A and B are shown apart, each in its own frame.
Chain A
Amino acid sequence: MISKSDDLLLVSQVVLFGSHKAFEQLVQKYQSPLRRFFLNLTYGNESLSDDLAQETFIKIYLHLQSFNGTAGFSTWLFRVAYNVYYDYIRSSKSTRETDYEEVDKHSSYERPNVDCAMDVYESMKVLKLDERTAITLFYMEDHSVEKISKIMNCPTGTVKSHLSRGREKLANYFKGTGYEYNFG
């Protein structure tokens, strides 16, 4: 497992010596959380989330000199990822954020409970981008509100509002669909 100080060491090796080996280690470490983040934002569209993750890593590589180390590398990585997704939404000519029909076709990752995962992805459609991002980072990636505020570049109060509104919408969604979930 690579620690946070190792992240900085790897980043400095990439910046100073252009070490591809060091960058490869960073990609290996963060590919899973980043692809999972995009998977949640794109309602489980695997090919789209992989494309966005790839674009994020390439951007990270090209702009690594601008990483000043004040926030952790993972915070910076998710911030770039959030911007990549935001740009994707803006550039998308379609009014829908993703092609929902693609979701079912491409969902082939091995997961312990496919039905439950798809229900969660489906429920995310009722949320706005900012609410979905906050909910994803908070509940699925276990990031703190402070870290999310740095990623989304907004005050912590705004993040709390996104979380609160997102929770409310999801609760209404699950009640409205008569979805029975064993909260035990």
Chain B
Amino acid sequence: MSTISDKEFSKLFDTVKQREIADNGFTRNVMAKIPKQDRKTHPIVVWAFGLIGVLIAYFSGAIFSCLASLACFGFQLSHAHMPTHTTLIVYLLVLGSILTMSANVIKKSWS
């Protein structure tokens, strides 16, 4: 029958327990053996779903609402005096965020 307690076992295994093993090129070897062509279809899938989204927006009329809002904004801008600093900053921030997000998605889909 066992006479060694749980604590004693833990102490015994301390010699090999959670010992950090140096990489020594292991990660590089794994990455070299990973199939490269496996996920080439993914950018196509991403772009296909993007296209589906645009088509849904087109047929549901959402894209026209969006364009109308932009046109309205442009109209107001052309008939207005210089917009206030707050309006301009908010507009630029929104525009900047949209462009950054789009750039990230495009970058990641091609990486």
Contact = CB atoms under 8 A, between A and B. Distances in A.
Tell me, yes or no, whether A binds B: yes
Interface of A: 13, 16-21, 23-24, 27-28, 31-33, 35-36, 39-40, 50, 53-54, 57-58, 61-62, 109-113, 116-117, 119-121, 139-142, 167-168, 170-172, 174-175, 181, 183-184
B31 A24 contact: yes
Contacts, number: 113
Contact of A35 (B11, B17, B26, B109): B26
B18 A36 contact: yes
B30 interface: yes
Given A109-B21, A184-B11, 8 more contacts: A18-B38, A18-B42, A27-B26, A28-B27, A36-B18, A39-B21, A167-B2, A170-B9
Interface of B: 1-4, 6, 8-13, 15-23, 26-27, 29-31, 33-35, 38-40, 42, 46, 108-109, 111
B17 A17 contact: no
A54 B8 contact: no
B15 A31 contact: no
A181 B22 CA distance: 28
Contact of A120 (B4, B15, B30): B15
6 contacts: A17-B42, A40-B16, A50-B26, A54-B30, A54-B33, A58-B33
Contacts of B33: 54, 58
B1 A17 contact: no
B26 A31 contact: yes
A31 to B, nearest CB: 5
B23 A140 contact: no
Contact of B4 (A33, A57, A167): A167
Nearest to B23: A31
